[in-house]
Amino acid sequence: MRQGNLDQAGDGFAAVVRQAPTFAEAFLNLGLVREEQARHDEAIAAFQKALQLKPRLRGANLFLGIAQFRTNRLDASLATLRKETTVSPKDANAWMWFGIVALEKGDGDEAVRALDEAAKLSPDNVDILYHRGRAHLSVSKDSYARMFKADPKSWRVRQILAEANADAERHMDAIAEYQAAIQLAPNEPRLHEELGSEFRAAGKVPEAEEAYRKELEIDPDNVVAKYKLGVLLTEKGDAAQGKQLLEAALKVRPGLRNSDYNLGRAEMALDNDAAAAEHFQRATKADSDPDILEQTWYQLGIVYRRLHRMEEAQNAMATFQKLKNQEEENSQKLMRRYQAQPNPKSPPAPQNPQE
């Protein structure tokens, strides 16, 4: 069986069970071979016999449930896999297959619960993460469909349309939907914050600032809006107020994205070069965003030069140039791949780093 000689393995295990008809493990292995041979009904019979002989035989319910699933016996498969999760509650594969079958049966909530449990047990399993994503997407689609049906004029409908447009980088459409949502629910928290982010993505800086400030009027404790406004003010030249907002936000939530980079920029604008260098140094180790990392090394080179740390400035600029060359090389590869397509569409516009 391990060498893949399934016919010989099947004959061998069949001979074993004839000679030892109470040997549960032999029936389990026979079932595994028959399942690999796509002889599902025979596999099911072998797994059932193994469980009859040893009801708590590890893995037997799992493989029986999989075989039942592959023969479209979904109710039986769910019942069998539920038994396996009871017998082996730490088996991530059992929870994964339970979730897969529940999703196939149309029970998104049950699938989400099972696949969330599987992900806790095996957080880096790509198959589990894939099916978990499918399950959550199914539940989301169902929720949105019910929402549209229940109240198509709700501000929530406008909000979800805005989020969909934002995800697709249709920023002007997203702005229009957020504005429509705000007309229906002018004091709802987070709507102005998201509107501000879309204004900023569209290059409308004054409108973005106004939206962030309005959000903070509605919800003064919105840490993310405070942080985004701090980044925006730093970029437009008001580094003193920008730094104040950034530090206030980070005091509440220290792990906000690109925090050291943005604080470094604020300190740099205020001519606090030593403090800026410390923030940029941390950002080179913490930030994984390629655009931010590239800019961090560039700014760090400038700060080192101001501090007369010329060797470090040269090293920082050399690292910046290396990252920039890698970015250009990757862009050229993408362009060549795009040009090689039979009917190429317009390539996506390059994105500027955001906060």
Q: 342: Cβ–Cβ under 8 A, 6 or more apart, which residues? A: none
pLDDT band at 159 (very low <50, low <70, confident <90, very high): very high
Mean pLDDT (whole number) for 53-73: 92
Comparing C-alpha atoms, which of 58, 59, 57, 135 is closest to residue 101? Answer: 135
Hey, is 221 helix, strand or coil?
Answer: coil
Dump pLDDT digits (tens) for 282-320: 999 876 688 899 999 999 999 999 999 999 999 999 999
pTM of the model: 0.66
- What DSSP line would sit under 104-124, residue for residue? HHT-HHHHHHHHHHHHHHSTT
- Between 140 and 61, name the one with better pLDDT: 61
- What DSSP line would sit under 265-300, residue for residue? HHHHHTT-HHHHHHHHHHHHHH---HHHHHHHHHHH
Q: Is the pLDDT of residue 347 over 60?
A: no
* Residue 215, both tokens: 């959000």
Report pLDDT for 326: 85
Report pLDDT for 279: 95
- What DSSP line would sit under 26-44, residue for residue? HHHHHHHHHHHTT-HHHHH
Report pLDDT for 3: 86
Mean pLDDT (whole number) for 5-12: 90
Query: 2-6, 38-42, 65-69: which has the minimum mean pLDDT?
Result: 2-6
Dump pLDDT digits (tens) for 166-218: 988 999 999 999 999 999 999 999 999 999 999 999 999 999 999 999 999 99
* Residue 209, both tokens: 């600032």
Calpha distance 211→190 (Å, rounded): 10
Calpha distance 84→207 (Å, rounded): 56
Hey, is 196 helix, strand or coil?
Answer: helix
- Between 350 and 144, name the one with better pLDDT: 144
Report pLDDT for 23: 94
Torsional sign, CA 97, 102, 104, 109 = negative
